[in-house]
Copies of this chain bind each other. A is one copy, B any other.
């Protein structure tokens, strides 16, 4: 039996990382990594006639519920990367989409897996996936799609760092939803600058629970977890709106041999 999704269509495009997509160290931000991955999937969808309008005509919209993001090396300023995406598989309720970001030599920089659902525009509830919305991807119909790792359950401690973030008009993208890549700017901004300058991001597990909306003020929280190996650090994150959990995230970091100045 072939690997899951092996027959799905792969769409690729190139993207150059601009200065405004990179942080002060010249590394692309995590928000940018997700922004360009989703750009690839939107371009694939448009090329296959599965435009946002077409999906909406079926009374639904695609919503991502989980990401597992593996970063071999974050793309850098002015680097031209190739984004590859495929809608690999789906079962009645969940679709599994994969993304690869590669450098000019074809080396993998990042590999992203994700789980998507279709949500009714009227009831805002999850509904069965209409096969018409996935057939053009040559997605594999299957019973089981891979389970992505669940982020660590966030526990508030005396050392938890938290900051408020107000959702801005410009956080809403042309799909009329808060661009959920912006969550990563909030999540990582809670970490001290010294931490961000001393570590490379290696792996991220994300689970979205409740949508945030324009005008909301959310709280982003982080714990830097104790570790026996100072070179490998795990951080546990949560975004909440009052008592409601919006998303949980676990990030694994590698300490740099020399911190970035």
Chain A positions near chain B (C-beta within 8 angstroms): 18-20, 22-26, 29, 31, 35, 38-39, 42, 77, 163, 166, 168-170, 172-176, 179, 181, 185, 188-189, 191, 193, 196, 214
Contact = CB atoms under 8 A, between A and B. Distances in A.
Copies in the complex: 2
7 contacts: A18-B39, A19-B179, A22-B174, A24-B173, A26-B174, A168-B189, A170-B189
A137 to B, nearest CB: 19
Contacts of A168: 185, 189
Q: Which 6 A-B pairs have the closest CB atoms?
A: A24-B172, A168-B189, A20-B35, A26-B174, A170-B185, A169-B189
Contacts of A172: 23-24
B169 A166 contact: no
Contacts of A163: 166
A164 to B, nearest CB: 8
